[in-house]
Structure 1
Amino acid sequence: PAEKEIVSIERYGPLARTEVYSVTDEDEIKLSTTIEDIDYDFSRVSINSGNDQDSFISIRGGREEAFGCIATKSYLYEAPDSGTATTMYLIPDDKVVIKDIRRVRGDEWAEVTYSSSTHGLIRAWVERLSVQPLNQLDAPCDAPIADSPITN
């Protein structure tokens, strides 16, 4: 109630463009724009929806594809639902391409592809917390993630 804002977030090529429209003390509308790499740590913008729950926008990696490293043994799922588990799994240090991130009934999932020497290209879902982000697919699993926002 004290602050009136409208937040708009859109994919801007390989970047994210965030616009915040706010009302100043003089009742003027102020626009702030930020253009930055889409967060590789899968962070989200949380907006209080007024019913004690947060709405959020989840934005995946800043390129056409994001990359990750499996941190713990992770079973593969056919859909972002714990009832769709397969017998296949990935192990720590397996590298994946992240295609999507979703939140379903409070659980976060990552849709990934993995190139298996036995099974070929596998596309499946894993629990999001089992994937650590990488800047590029050939980076070591413990490589830090670069961040360089551009703000105006």
Structure 2
Amino acid sequence: MMKIKNTDSAKPEYKNLKEPNSELCLISLERIIDCADYGLCMDKNHKHYNEQKAKKYNTQLIKLFHYLCRKSWNEIYGMRKNQEYGYEHFPIKDFDINHIKEYFQKLGKDINKDKCDIFRFGAQEFRACGYRKANTFYLICIDYDFSLYNHGN
């Protein structure tokens, strides 16, 4: 005797499915490069530590993180370039600094194909560079002086 299962008996549940870009952004500093030029400007060994703008870097970076953590990835991807906290998706291969490209590669990125996420902050003066995995933005480095890549100037 053959038994036939009624396929209409169990209705699928869709309420737990979420759009992956609707989640709020999380920030991680666990993968930031240890570098005196492009790492966090937190101690006297950093190239920019003694500059007058050193406090501004850190204050504006915290403000960027505060802003991003209240946004979904849909909202982040919709940020315009001329906003205070603009966003761009940039090819890793186009970085001018080789050890930054190599660091991305060490983290498993294909430097010839992958792109990184870049957030402008501090009245467009600085760039926070990293990548997204799930809903987390992993900060890798900071461009303090427009030397990391060609900014089209």
TMscore range, shorter length = under 0.3
Q: TM-score, normalised by structure 1?
A: 0.26
Greater RCO, 1 or 2 (C-alpha within 8 Å, sep 6+): 2
Higher helix share: 2
Task: Name the TM-score, length of structure 2 as normaliser.
Answer: 0.26
Which of the two has higher C-alpha Rg?
2
Higher strand share: 1
